[in-house]
Structure 1
Amino acid sequence: MAAARGLWLSVYGEIGAILVYTFAVVAISLIPVGIGILATPVALRAVRAFAGQRRAQARAWSGVDIPSPYLPLPARRGSWVAHQAELCWALLRDKATWRDLQWLLVDMTAGYLLAVLSVTGFLYTLWGPVLALGVWKPIVDHGGNNWFLFVHVTGQTSANFAAALGVSLGVLGIFVNPALLRADFRLAKWLLAPTPERALAQRVERLTETRHDAVDTSAAELRRIERDLHDGAQARLVAVGMSLGTVEALIEKDPAKARQLLTAARATSAEALSELRDLVRGIHPPVLAERGFGDAVRALALRLPLPAEVDVQLPGRPAEPVEAAAYFAVSELLANAVKHSGAERLWLEATHADGMLRVTVTDNGHGGADIKAGTGLVGVERRLGAFDGVLAISSPPGGPTMATIEIPCTLTART
């Protein structure tokens, strides 16, 4: 598999790199005559698309994550020509553009060499046994000078030795070829990943955005609480007060009627108390405050209509805001799984390592979950973003779906 991927990178990757690099260089060189202003955005977007494909391959084939470093592009304003000119200057001002072009040069040389090495070992693995099957003889009979690496094949014995060497190369390639591909992708990451300055700027931008989202969410939550209090518990308590006033007037004239009103007032007060408890649970569940994240998510799982296995391994408790954010994020993920996944079973695992609280919710449903599909995952992402946390979804068609949240935090000792 690694050899096939190396072949893909060495052929398609090399051709693609040469084409998009040439297109970009020609387009940029034509800027002084005007044509390049229109062609450069197209060329540089092709470069970005090619680099984006390499990022996806690095993540899928070797687990090497290469974040995107690009600055936001301007929205279209005015005519297409004016927009192309604005795009041209925006792309040329972005340092990531020039790093992409540098990467293309490196990929056409050092990257190509790493990809070819993984293919070469595989070809030698095939060629050695083929020689031993008798192919060596017509080559030698016709005066050929056949070498297999350092083995000079002149007869069956040397051909057999070449076959053994080829098989050895194949066994070695099982371990070496993936390492060569990983080295190729790490070389790409060196130039395609954001610089420390850009990474810091991206983090600041994201935190600024999520802070605004958190403020908006908090305001909406306060309005919801006010509405629930006004329409629910407050209205019931007002009704209780009115009933008690009527009871006070009837207690001597009509005790039976007063008794009925007292019974109704008691039922209404019980309903108001239940609504208040639900409201408080929605703001900050008592079990979360009293017993911590682990017991709170176990209580959540017990209320689900699906069987759920919960494994929480936390040596302490996060800060209260982080704990609450993680709890409500998990609650939303579980609710989404129940509503949309078609799953028969759920699994929840929570751990803390390397300064990161990591919670994974897995279901055996039909898959296809998408953060942008409007199933509440965007809200989870925004809630976590306020704490510099992230949400990752793996949900191929047919399932399973794995949702992972990570929040940087420290844990305090249990009390």
Structure 2
Amino acid sequence: MATQGYGEWDDPGSQGSRGRPHRLPVALRAPVEGRSWRELCHLVLSLPIGTVMFAYSVTMFSMGVGLLVTFLGIPVLAAGLMGCRGFGVLERARARALLGLDVAEPEPLRPRRGGAMAWMGAVFKSGSSWRHMLYTVLQFPWTLFSSVAGLVFWSCGWSLLTYPLWFWVFPVYAGQGGIQLYGDETHSVYLDNPFEITVTALVGLLLTLATPWIIRGLTTVDRLLVLGLLGPSPLATRVVELESDRGVVVDTAAADLRRIERDLHDGAQARLVALAMDLGLAKEKLTEDPRAAARMVDEAHGEVKTALQELRDLARGIHPAVLTDRGLDAALSAVATRCTVPVTVDVDLPSRPAPAIEGIAYFTVSELLQNISKHARASRAVVDVWRVENRLLLQVTDDGVGGADASAGSGLAGLAGRLDAVDGVLVVDSPAGGPTRITAELPWRSA
């Protein structure tokens, strides 16, 4: 699904050549930046577009409600709502192009069956349709104010700032000395001497510098309207997230099952098959060559021990017994002993979390320590586990070479996906040259 939030443009005027910072402060260059002109364009376009949307929605709603005494009111009202959804597409595109605001599409209509009645029922049941109509109603009075205010400030600021260049228009074509501040039957006051013209230009400069920030504040309300009424509802967004998380959980479980099957097939199963064959040969040689048979049985006994160790390791990889019996402190200490670098473990928990959360925390630390053993080239590592309110936090730190990146499609990306499936978060801080600090956050659920 597409993301939603505020976007920023990289204006050519905001930086010098080759990415060097601009010498002018932002307050001085704001009036000529592309962003300010785009936001002004958005305000100017909002008035005619808002007028059309308001007239359409009010007309269709009034007509539909008025015709509800007959069957015609239902399709008219449904058509009005669909038209408002069409305006929503236009407004999202306009906000994306002029305001840098990328809003995800709302949840689509899902009629349960075919036919016009099912389609109209889906339109009426969709909260997004009604939010779109509410947007067309609320946007009109606001844009009537914001468009006029933005244009007045912008035109007055630039007009007064450039007044020294065009004040001659008044005496030449209007027959007066300049801009008239006051006039009655006896006398008039004009801005016509150098001092007054200079003061006028300075006032215009102040207005010109302030106008981009005023317009930015006005368009902030437009952003909030688009974001709150034209995007997907929080409930629909949460449903999509849960569906995605469920897919991650299913894929992870399937991958774990394939790994267990592969380990059994290539490890213990193959060893047990070979053991059965060796015992069969020993049985055949028992009467003919007892010494050779005894030697083969002794070798088979060693193979049994090796197979049992492999099964124990496999069981530990599924869910270690020490985690169930003694909790995270003992389990993580056991994992730390298998790391190739010295590891300090500090677990500060008032009680044990739920088994599912405890298991995820264990395997998270276990995988991070494996990464340290394979890639970090570190001399030591530290594991800290603690609780903050309703969250369980894990932090694994090492003094290795750094450069770990969860977005590069590595094992960290898969680990982040697993944590996200249970509303967890993985934060990687690993600059080149180290040190590396990886923090995992999980929801706390009591056992």
TM-score range, shorter chain: 0.5 to 0.7
**Secondary structure of the equivalent of 1:142?**
helix
Whether 1:142 aligns to 2:180 is no
Q: 1:378 to 1:21 in 2, by over 3 A?
A: farther
2:81 and 2:123 in contact (8 A); partners too = yes
1:159 matched to which residue of 2? 197
Q: CA deviation at 1:131?
A: 1.5
Q: 1:113 to 1:261 in 2, by over 3 A?
A: farther
1:244 and 1:265 in contact (8 A); partners too = no
Whether 1:239 aligns to 2:273 is yes
- Larger C-alpha radius of gyration, 1 or 2? 2
State how far apart, in whole Å, the 1-side matches of 2:39 and 2:301 are: 77
The correspondence for 1:46, drawn from 86, 105, 111, is 86
State how far apart, in whole Å, the 2-side matches of 1:327 and 1:4 are: 54
2:145 matched to which residue of 1? 113
Compute the RMSD of aligned alpha carbons.
6.1
2:128 matched to which residue of 1? 96
What TM-score do you get using the length of structure 2 for normalisation?
0.53
Whether 1:4 aligns to 2:37 is yes
Deviations 1:252-277 (A, max 9, x none): 92767976897698689758856874
Q: 1:137 to 1:51 in 2, by over 3 A?
A: closer
1:103 and 1:192 in contact (8 A); partners too = yes
**Secondary structure of the equivalent of 1:73?**
coil
The correspondence for 2:118, drawn from 86, 96, 100, is 86
Structure 2 counterpart of 1:128, one-letter code = L
The correspondence for 1:183, drawn from 213, 221, 225, is 221
Q: CA deviation at 1:130?
A: 1.9
State how far apart, in whole Å, the 1-side matches of 2:190 and 2:296 are: 109
Q: CA deviation at 1:43?
A: 1.7
Q: 1:68 to 1:330 in 2, by over 3 A?
A: farther
State how far apart, in whole Å, the 2-side matches of 1:59 and 1:358 are: 38
Deviations 1:195-249 (A, max 9, x none): xxx746864x568757865885576467536634652344134225323564576
Q: 1:15 to 1:270 in 2, by over 3 A?
A: farther
Q: Percent identity?
A: 17
State how far apart, in whole Å, the 1-side matches of 2:387 and 2:38 are: 35
Q: CA deviation at 1:100?
A: 1.9
Q: CA deviation at 1:37?
A: 7.6
Unaligned runs of 5+ in 2: 1-33, 65-70, 182-188, 342-346, 368-385, 395-402, 427-438
1:210 and 1:382 in contact (8 A); partners too = no
Structure 1 counterpart of 2:88, one-letter code = R
Aligned residues: 351
Deviations 1:156-197 (A, max 9, x none): 322222222232234334544433322332344555577xxx
State how far apart, in whole Å, the 2-side matches of 1:315 and 1:173 are: 54
What TM-score do you get using the length of structure 1 for normalisation?
0.56
1:384 and 1:407 in contact (8 A); partners too = no
Whether 1:74 aligns to 2:111 is yes
Unaligned runs of 5+ in 1: 303-313, 333-350, 370-375, 392-404
